[in-house]
Structure 1
Amino acid sequence: MLNAIHHTALICSDYQRSKHFYSEVLGLTIISEYYREHRDSYKLDLALPNGSRVELFSFANPPARLSHPEACGLRHLAFSVTNIDDVVSKLTTQGIEVEPIRVDELTDKRFTFFADPDGLPLELYEE
């Protein structure tokens, strides 16, 4: 049946700001970038080291996403990391607010949350 998650698609409010955040701040590799003139929309394909992808889309005037209080639907996007302290340090030195690191009571793994430029909750999960 299912093998893995191939990609996660995100719609951003400011394409250049989000492109910088996902490629420069988080370090995802740009695979391809398309401008779809008929939709006045960009599509940016980004890769993580394990081959999974993030697709970043821009659309004119997308509605805001309700994050707080938590709404029904996608709750957050979690990234696996080897050393959470190193990643948190890199993010905070770039001015990204990161919640205190917690320990998952079910797995004893460390994790934390931060947000992308549009407030989408992102998680770091140490493996």
Structure 2
Amino acid sequence: MAKSKSLQMQNVGIVVESLDNAISFFTELGLQLEGRATIEGDWSGRVTGLDSQQVEIAMMVTPDGHSRVELSRFLNPPIISDHRNAPVNSLGYLRIMFSVENIDEMVSKLTKQGAQLVGDVVQYEDTYRLCYIRGVEGLLIGLAEEIGNK
């Protein structure tokens, strides 16, 4: 099957209370801050359906430059809902999964930043070691270490 270049994922957006804390967490995970700005004006409200929005954003990029996480902190309008701590079997977006080289080392680094392991680090066949963590502000993050081709 031929690969299509007509569809590429640009980023995943996450709304946070503290942009600085979220940047610090995702930097510890291995992403790099690509840019930070305040987005406002008629055009931005027309895209999201939120009139008069003012949002501070930070774009984080993976080291390979292919994947991005857009962190947003709404200044206006105020936050109206919070589902960060919903259990993993809730409807809607679940988590972001990152491939890491050493899952034990990454879990150790992130728990020092306040993250908590959700369950256990488990092995899936001879392919991956996997876990979920609750990171900054209760965000659910998946970590996967490939072990089959080492």
TM-score normalised by the chain length of structure 1: 0.82
Matched residue pairs, number? Answer: 125
Residues 1:50 and 2:64 aligned together: yes
1:16 to 16, 20, 34: 20
How has the CA–CA distance of structure 1 residues 69 and 96 changed in structure 2, closer, same or farther, with 3 Å as cutoff?
A: closer
**In structure 2, how many angstroms separate the alpha carbons of the residues matched to 1:27 and 1:112?**
17
**In structure 1, how many angstroms separate the alpha carbons of the residues matched to 2:134 and 2:60?**
18
Task: State the partner residue of 2:45.
Answer: none
**In structure 2, how many angstroms separate the alpha carbons of the residues matched to 1:21 and 1:122?**
11
Deviation at 1:16, TM superposition (A): 2.5
**In structure 2, how many angstroms separate the alpha carbons of the residues matched to 1:36 and 1:6?**
18
RMSD: 2.2
- Secondary structure of the equivalent of 1:118? helix
Q: 1:32 is aligned with what amino acid? A: G
> Is the 2:114–2:135 contact (alpha carbons within 8 Å) kept by the matching residues of 1?
no
Encode CA deviations 1:47-80: one digit per residue, 9 max, x unaligned.
Answer: 1012211111111324101622622221111000
2:34 to 31, 36, 49: 31
Where structure 1 has 5 or more consecutive residues not aligned to the other structure, the ranges are none
Where structure 2 has 5 or more consecutive residues not aligned to the other structure, the ranges are 42-52
Deviation at 1:45, TM superposition (A): 0.7
Identity in percent: 27
Task: State the partner residue of 1:70.
Answer: 89
Deviation at 1:89, TM superposition (A): 1.9
1:81 to 100, 103, 110: 100
If you compute each CA radius of gyration, which structure gives the higher value, 1 or 2? 2
Encode CA deviations 1:6-37: one digit per residue, 9 max, x unaligned.
Answer: 311111122232222223x3231111100135
> Is the 1:13–1:62 contact (alpha carbons within 8 Å) kept by the matching residues of 2?
no
Task: State the partner residue of 2:50.
Answer: none
TM-score normalised by the chain length of structure 2: 0.71
